[in-house]
Structure 1
Amino acid sequence: MGSAAPRAVVLADSDSRWKWAALVARRIAPDHAIDARFLRSGTAPSQRQIDEVGIVPDTTATLDYTDVPTDPAVSAADVVVLGTTGGTMLTMIHTLGRAWRDHPSRPALVTGYVGVIYENMVDGLLLRCGSDLVLANSAHDAARFRDVYTSLGIDPAGVVETALPFLGGTPHDPGAAGRDRPFTVTFAVQPSVPGTKAARLSLVRHLARHARLHPDREVLLKLRNQPGEAVTHTERFPYQELLRSLPDAPPNLRPVYGDMGSVLDRTDLLVTVSSTAAVESVHRSIPTAVLSDFGVREAHGNHFFVHSGLLTSFADLDAGHVPTVRPEWAAEHGIGRADPYRAARERLAHLRDGGPLAPPRPFYTPERSGDYLETLVGRRGFALDGTPLTGSPTAARPPALKRIVRRGAGHLYRFGRNRLAPAVRRWQQG
């Protein structure tokens, strides 16, 4: 399969998907060189976001969608890990499969999920169908995936139970607080949950109240991105700005950036609405609170934690309550497992030992679902036969451009509202 020196290509289109895919590549193919390929889009990660993961690629390039099938590194790889949206995964499985039809061998294709799955499971699974490994983050997910595939006549052998690849790090030391640092509460933000400005401002005020009630604690607002950086999900009301809008923010409440693992190293209580950071925190035995203040809702994703014992409110936290995870829930969701990627490595070795791989077999084909497939691949610059659309290097750029324009318009609006308008009013009043 591929070149003599084993290589893994990581194809990513955002910060969180780069992190997931790069760490997966390192877990399933630890002896492989890594070639990073970033899709040119409005969510492409910055160099800081790339570096933050801690994996240094051997080569790096930024590609249009239509460049991927002809990239020599992709064709010569032993493994290709797709860290993209589901629609892009299917597009790559479809177009790469067509591009490799006359090749004597092809790379193994790996897909999975960046975080916990709380919606659109069937939709996502069928978009990943045709990859050689579909990674499930727990036994619970693996059973659901296999059931869906079997019911639709799809071979479930490619579904492999693993865990989120960033689970690890140093176990929590409860004695560190008070010995060499203050008790630290970290709130892990999400770009779109909760989504309204009122809810997000209320959350910042809750954190400020908690910091005032507990002046001996350090309260950290863990931010995803520096101002101007893109993220997987658009953030309409950045917490940086909301925190600056507080007239009397307590000194023991402050924002922090950086890798979540580094922040968890000094965290004694992790608080979130539904961030995947909660799973990482539980894995390290760090007390973890999933907030119910904004509702326990499928739309928020915190319904995933209903049976965990972690759901609580700011009022309880202010009163000193510290939730305890239910061990059976943690075990069911793949938390705390030793070497969860062993089965994936074995599956990859089995594929490699079996000779050239058969062509990928997506569920969506031109014959079965031509209208849907044509829409998905067309958005990314391909015709239904897998060739680039005539006269357009990529059809994915207009939506990305729209996102850039929308983000730029938001920055201009906030600049006008927060900086320019007050200056004009002062000038008029003076």
Structure 2
Amino acid sequence: MPSPSPHDPPRVAVLADSDTRWKWGAHTARRLVPGAIPQGFLLRGRATPTARQLAESGADAGEAREITAADFLTELGRGTHQVLILACVGGTVQALLHALADVWKGDQQRPVVVTGYVGVVYEKLTDGLLLRHGADMVLANSPYDVRRFRAVYEGVRADASAVTECALPFLGGARHDVRPRGQDRPYRLVFAVQPSVPGSRADRAYLLERAMAHARRHPGREVIVKLRSRPGEQTTHVEELPYQRLAERARDRRPDNFSLAYGNMGEVLDTTDLLVTVSSTAALESLHRGIPTAILTDLGIREPLGNHYFTGSGCFASWDELDAGYRPEPETEWLADQGLAADPEQAYGPARERLSALLGAPRPPLTPYYTRRTAPGYLPGILARHDTVAPASTHRLLRQAARATYRTAAQRIAPIIRRWGQL
């Protein structure tokens, strides 16, 4: 491929391993490199998105194609891209960073590597961040995340300069308080469900029953359960108990103003008057647009649910309160700290400047925090689980781990056994 003109935008590749990460990666590419048409790669695996899921992501999937990790490394080795966005789970990002370090060894004009998070970061903060360390840019979606990310890196003596503030790339759409209102449609409550939260059948059935009960209590409203995937489709998180199946069993009790819906979340929010969820990232999209948003407390405010993240937001409410007409009012300071009060286009200014600086200078080798020196008992297992990504690094580190185990057995355990034998 010929070299781009100085006036052309950098060529961008996006590798994603699920529908939500494709949504984040494709939108990030367009925010970070205005005018770019990213080349999309879908990593073949458990959660490879279907054509329907890609269409509902709201990102143009015309250039996306399924690929194996090995073929992707070959593609990147051809040197046709200037920017690579890794929209993958942390372990995959770590394996790719090690593999790409081998592929690009000595290449000071290698692509700039960018990674980050799809939305709310409420669990495995330290683990996930260190698995992403080594990328040139680790995007943080808010001032709050910037502080947390840098504190983690600095707290383990890792370089924190890659942490770059931006915003969720898919924020946008018409503000709720300026949309035309009329008698053409009823008040609409949308319950945005999640694949794995809550996890138990009883909890999921309870939430579904409460949504139907709200519809019965308010016959003039529309109550819509916004679904993530169809049964059999996979998402970022495994959905073992789809709401569709629970709703089918309750079909005799479903009121006429209650329905299930698929579709792009941005388009659903266009006609939403109240968004209800446990802890979905959809809440951030809704709050950014000024749509009344309720974070449910019925199952408690607990770390496994992820709704603890919204502490201080002013958005907590129970179904009983919503039934009685309560509408939460978000705290303005919390919104600002979460990056929900700013113009997303302006929020990407610092990230674009950093990318431009990186593109204009020689790039040093990729240097992840985890190496055979810093994590000899952890990294080999990560690479072994992704041996199609970084086979050379995997086999090298596994050999080193085996030698270390042998030395321990020979030098420490064997003498103890011999002493036992002399008793």
CA deviations over 1:275-296 (Å, ceiling 9, x no partner) = 1111110000000000000110
Aligned partners of 1:221, 1:57: CA distance in 2, in Å?
26
Name which of 227, 235, 240 aligns with 1:223: 227
Name which of 162, 166, 190 aligns with 2:166: 162
Name which of 12, 20, 23 aligns with 1:19: 23
Aligned partners of 1:3, 1:369: CA distance in 2, in Å?
39
Name which of 287, 296, 303 aligns with 2:301: 296
Q: Give how far 1:63 is off.
A: 1.9
2:154 equivalent to 1:150: yes
Structure 1: any 5+ residue segments left out of the alignment? 391-430
Counterpart of 1:185 in structure 2 is: 189
Cα 1:343–1:104, aligned 2, differ >3 Å: closer, same or farther?
Answer: closer
Aligned partners of 2:179, 2:64: CA distance in 1, in Å?
42
Q: Give how far 1:270 is off.
A: 0.2
Alignment of 1:265-284 (within 5 A): 265-284=270-289
Contact 1:66 1:381 in 2 (8 A): no
2:337 equivalent to 1:332: yes
Aligned partners of 2:391, 2:245: CA distance in 1, in Å?
47
AA in 2 matched with 1:351: L
Aligned partners of 1:240, 1:385: CA distance in 2, in Å?
40
Contact 1:35 1:57 in 2 (8 A): no
Cα 1:199–1:58, aligned 2, differ >3 Å: closer, same or farther?
Answer: closer
Alignment of 1:16-415 (within 5 A): 16-57=20-61, 59-72=63-76, 75-173=79-177, 176=180, 178-246=182-250, 247-338=252-343, 339-354=346-361, 356-382=362-388, 386=392
**Percentage identity across aligned positions?**
46
CA RMSD in angstroms comes to 2.0
AA in 1 matched with 2:131: L
After alignment, is 25-34 or 14-23 more displaced? 25-34
Aligned partners of 1:72, 1:115: CA distance in 2, in Å?
27
Q: Give how far 1:212 is off.
A: 0.6
AA in 2 matched with 1:283: H
Q: Give how far 1:153 is off.
A: 2.4
Aligned partners of 2:341, 2:99: CA distance in 1, in Å?
38
Contact 1:137 1:334 in 2 (8 A): yes
After alignment, is 231-240 or 210-219 more displaced? 231-240
Aligned partners of 2:333, 2:58: CA distance in 1, in Å?
32
CA deviations over 1:269-317 (Å, ceiling 9, x no partner) = 0000111111110000000000000110001000011211110100000
Cα 1:203–1:177, aligned 2, differ >3 Å: closer, same or farther?
Answer: farther
AA in 1 matched with 2:114: V
After alignment, is 25-34 or 261-270 more displaced? 25-34
Q: Give how far 1:155 is off.
A: 2.3
Contact 1:366 1:384 in 2 (8 A): no
Aligned partners of 1:133, 1:274: CA distance in 2, in Å?
27
Aligned partners of 1:385, 1:204: CA distance in 2, in Å?
45
3-state DSSP of counterpart to 1:55: coil
Contact 1:217 1:252 in 2 (8 A): yes
Aligned partners of 1:268, 1:120: CA distance in 2, in Å?
33
Aligned partners of 1:111, 1:104: CA distance in 2, in Å?
19
AA in 1 matched with 2:309: F
Contact 1:110 1:133 in 2 (8 A): yes
Q: Give how far 1:66 is off.
A: 2.4
Contact 1:21 1:82 in 2 (8 A): yes
Contact 2:314 2:331 in 1 (8 A): yes
CA deviations over 1:55-106 (Å, ceiling 9, x no partner) = 3356433222222221147742111111110000011111101111043520
Q: Give how far 1:3 is off.
A: 4.2
Aligned partners of 2:79, 2:234: CA distance in 1, in Å?
29
Contact 2:17 2:43 in 1 (8 A): yes
3-state DSSP of counterpart to 1:366: coil
Aligned partners of 1:33, 1:210: CA distance in 2, in Å?
44
